């Protein structure tokens, strides 16, 4: 098992990529401007001069609050290559959370989207010295301490001193230097600031370079929020070291916008969360599969093979038609969707990680991964299952290796709780591992319910079955007075198409309860389904905030 980092450092990867690909396109805002590697290097150089003149020191925190754009990505590279610490803030956070993050992190400078900045209260930004626009690098907040002059000297377009490849010099970071301070909104509430050092980013990037299919000049679409490490690492930081061309979807990425962009850009590697994939399956594939004629034809061996090939071709075309594989992460994928994709030979794979590992724990290529697994433990990490029999008895997944965080910022108590006495990170996830090191996720330890006879019940497994039933858009399974109850938000499009009133909806859900229970063990069967009137509140990763509905 290779757990050592390569001789080249994190920043050297970017300097070499800039120099080798100086004239190639690096960043494009979808429907907007494009920037070559050399142009991005020029902007990084200017930002460094600006930071130096306003007195930003190595190790100072600089926050980024905006949607995915070329300027966001350029600013991030400028921050970490200067030796400062990037504090990415998800654009979906409310102002109170943003104020908290900026103050808790002690951020001295903020790069912000103009519209998002307008929602903030400047009086509550205690240590922020200035605010720079992510739209055009203008000053949104000028404290009058020489910042305006520094901006005039270095960020104003007309005053830029053009540099060539020979002038582009970046200092390396030590492996343990703090690089990113990541605050996430989890399914269990507002969480801590995860301290991600240079070694974690470097380890993740080197693994991706060694195992993921992507080459110089190839295309990738960035639509996952870069303020979250999954999108940050694999849609941006990793491909930027290879000479790839990254297109940013700056607007909220609906499945319709995403598929339109995929059709135009035709990316070579796609990263996604299950929600997007499941919606495309449910809206585009499932209606065809449920037709009586199709159900019959899929049972005829020769015809079935031809039909599956046609379905696969249509699905591949939906995602642009030339990708090597789709890597799905961030949450469990519906078993029905996974099994169907496998049956037609669709090139997808499922990975597993967490912010605290920057993020990767397990992954395997689509043509060698095991069904129902979350991939194989990456070769620079160790995984153990805290159970009497890791192959058969579910236990907490614990990890160790260079991907792992330093701890939680200014929170020693939570840091100590996150690690075992012998130094393994507690993931809070439950699972199994097989002899080939494939990881199988069974649920979150904090979500697990106890059956009447002591059986472990994983609500996610029940919810996955409900997600495939007619008229159910999403659900949360909770324990109430010793019984299992599913809170369900009905799919408004299905309810409208079926012309159901409230009584009709209740009857449909009762039928769904009976159908689900046929496939569930007796100890995990549902006692009732309760309808909720609005979609469940979600994190920016589109995971349901379970804690709001289970207490």
| pLDDT the model gives residue 445 | 66
Report how far residue 221's alpha carbon sits from residue 236's, in angstroms, rounded to the nearest whole number: 9
Q: Are residues 473 and 387 in the same domain?
A: no
Most confident among 8-12, 61-65, 371-375 (mean pLDDT): 61-65
3-state secondary structure of 439: strand
| pLDDT the model gives residue 5 | 52
**Final residue belonging to a domain, choices 444, 466, 497:** 444
Q: Is the pLDDT of residue 185 over 90?
A: no
The angle formed by the CA atoms of residues 501, 506 and 511, to the nearest 5 degrees, is: 125
Q: Are residues 395 and 539 in the same domain?
A: no
Q: DSSP state, 438? A: B
Report how far residue 330's alpha carbon sits from residue 335's, in angstroms, rounded to the nearest whole number: 15
Q: What are the tens digits of pLDDT across the range 494-506? A: 999 999 999 999 9
On average, the pLDDT of the chain sits at: 90
3-state secondary structure of 129: coil
Q: What are the tens digits of pLDDT across the range 315-342? A: 999 999 999 999 998 777 888 899 999 9
Q: Are residues 163 and 111 in the same domain?
A: yes
> Would residue 3 count as lying in a domain?
no
Q: Are residues 291 and 191 in the same domain?
A: no
Q: Are residues 209 and 293 in the same domain?
A: no
> Would residue 134 count as lying in a domain?
yes
Q: Are residues 460 and 421 in the same domain?
A: no
> Would residue 385 count as lying in a domain?
yes
Cβ neighbours around 42 below 10 Å, total:
21
> Would residue 261 count as lying in a domain?
no
Q: What are the tens digits of pLDDT across the range 465-484? A: 898 899 999 999 998 877 89
Report how far residue 85's alpha carbon sits from residue 68's, in angstroms, rounded to the nearest whole number: 19
Q: Are residues 415 and 282 in the same domain?
A: yes
pTM score: 0.83
Q: Are residues 455 and 433 in the same domain?
A: no
Confidence of residue 187 (pLDDT cuts 50, 70, 90): very low
Q: Are residues 177 and 292 in the same domain?
A: no
> Would residue 514 count as lying in a domain?
yes
| pLDDT the model gives residue 158 | 59
- For the chain, give the percent of residues with pLDDT over 90: 70
Helix (H) or strand (E) holding 465: helix 459-466
Q: Are residues 438 and 456 in the same domain?
A: no
Report how far residue 86's alpha carbon sits from residue 178's, in angstroms, rounded to the nearest whole number: 9
For residue 134 the two structure tokens come to 């992510």
| pLDDT the model gives residue 186 | 47
| pLDDT the model gives residue 7 | 56
- For the chain, give the percent of residues with pLDDT over 70: 94
Please tell me the total count of domains within the chain: 3
> Would residue 1 count as lying in a domain?
no
What's 202's domain CATH number?
3.40.50.980
| pLDDT the model gives residue 322 | 95
What's 453's domain CATH number?
3.30.300.30
Bigger pLDDT: 181 vs 458: 181
> Would residue 95 count as lying in a domain?
yes
- Strands 395-400 and 425-433, sheet pairing: antiparallel
**Final residue belonging to a domain, choices 381, 411, 444:** 444
What's 285's domain CATH number?
3.40.50.12780
Report how far residue 205's alpha carbon sits from residue 317's, in angstroms, rounded to the nearest whole number: 28
**Final residue belonging to a domain, choices 393, 417, 444:** 444
Helices assigned H by DSSP within 66-145: 70-82, 95-104, 114-118
For residue 532 the two structure tokens come to 């909720």
| pLDDT the model gives residue 2 | 43
> Would residue 259 count as lying in a domain?
no
Domain that holds residue 122: 10-248
Q: Are residues 93 and 241 in the same domain?
A: yes
Q: What are the tens digits of pLDDT across the range 284-307? A: 888 888 889 998 998 898 899 999
Q: Are residues 143 and 230 in the same domain?
A: yes
């Amino acid at each position: 098992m290779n757990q050592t980092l390569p001789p080249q450092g994190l920043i050297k990867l970017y300097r070499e990529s800039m120099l080798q690909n100086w004239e190639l396109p690096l960043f494009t805002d979808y429907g907007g401007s494009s920037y070559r590697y050399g142009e991005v290097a020029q902007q990084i150089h200017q930002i460094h001069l600006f930071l130096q003149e306003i007195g930003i020191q190595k190790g100072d925190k600089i926050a980024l609050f905006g949607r995915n754009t070329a300027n966001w990505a350029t600013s991030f590279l400028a921050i970490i290559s200067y030796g400062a610490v990037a504090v990415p803030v998800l654009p979906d956070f409310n102002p109170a959370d943003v104020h908290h993050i900026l103050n808790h992190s002690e951020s001295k400078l903020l790069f912000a989207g103009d519209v998002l900045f307008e929602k903030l209260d400047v009086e509550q930004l205690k240590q922020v010295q200035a605010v720079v626009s992510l739209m055009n690098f203008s000053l949104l907040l000028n404290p009058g301490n020489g910042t305006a002059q520094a901006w005039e000297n270095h960020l104003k377009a007309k005053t830029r001193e053009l540099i060539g490849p020979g002038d582009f010099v970046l200092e390396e970071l030590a492996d343990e230097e703090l690089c990113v301070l990541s605050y996430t909104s989890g399914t269990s509430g507002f969480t801590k600031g995860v301290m991600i050092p240079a070694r974690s980013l470097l380890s993740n990037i080197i693994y991706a370079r060694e195992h993921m299919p992507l080459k110089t000049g190839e295309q990738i679409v960035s639509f996952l929020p870069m303020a979250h490490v999954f999108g940050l690492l694999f849609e941006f930081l990793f491909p930027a070291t290879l000479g790839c061309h990254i297109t940013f979807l700056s607007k909220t990425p609906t499945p319709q916008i995403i598929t339109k962009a995929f059709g135009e850009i035709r990316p070579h590697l796609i990263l996604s969360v299950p929600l997007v994939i499941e919606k495309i399956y449910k809206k585009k594939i499932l209606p065809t599969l449920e037709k009586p004629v199709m159900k019959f034809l899929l049972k005829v061996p020769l015809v079935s093979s031809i039909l599956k090939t046609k379905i696969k071709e249509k699905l591949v075309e939906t995602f642009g038609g030339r990708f090597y594989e789709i890597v799905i992460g961030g949450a469990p994928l519906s078993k029905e969707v996974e099994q169907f994709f496998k049956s037609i030979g669709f090139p997808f794979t499922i990975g597993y990680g967490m912010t605290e590992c920057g993020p990767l724990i397990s992954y395997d290529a689509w043509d060698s991964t095991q069904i129902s697994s979350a991939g194989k433990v990456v070769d620079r990490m160790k995984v153990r299952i805290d159970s009497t029999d890791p192959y058969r008895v579910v236990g907490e997944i614990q990890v160790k290796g260079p991907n792992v965080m330093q701890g939680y910022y200014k929170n020693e108590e939570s840091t100590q709780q996150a690690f075992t006495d012998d130094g393994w990170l507690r993931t809070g996830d439950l699972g199994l591992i097989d002899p080939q090191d494939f990881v199988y996720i069974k649920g979150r330890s904090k979500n697990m319910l106890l059956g009447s006879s002591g059986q472990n019940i994983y609500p996610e497994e029940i919810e996955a079955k409900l997600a495939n039933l007619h008229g159910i858009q999403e659900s949360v399974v909770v324990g109430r007075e010793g019984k299992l109850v599913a809170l369900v938000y009905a799919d408004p499009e299905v309810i409208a198409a079926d012309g159901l009133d409230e009584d009709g909806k209740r009857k449909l859900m009762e039928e769904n309860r009976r159908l689900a229970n046929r496939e569930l063990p007796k100890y995990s069967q549902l006692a009732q389904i309760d309808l909720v009137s609005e979609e469940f509140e979600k994190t920016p990763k589109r995971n349901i905030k379970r804690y709001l509905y289970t207490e």
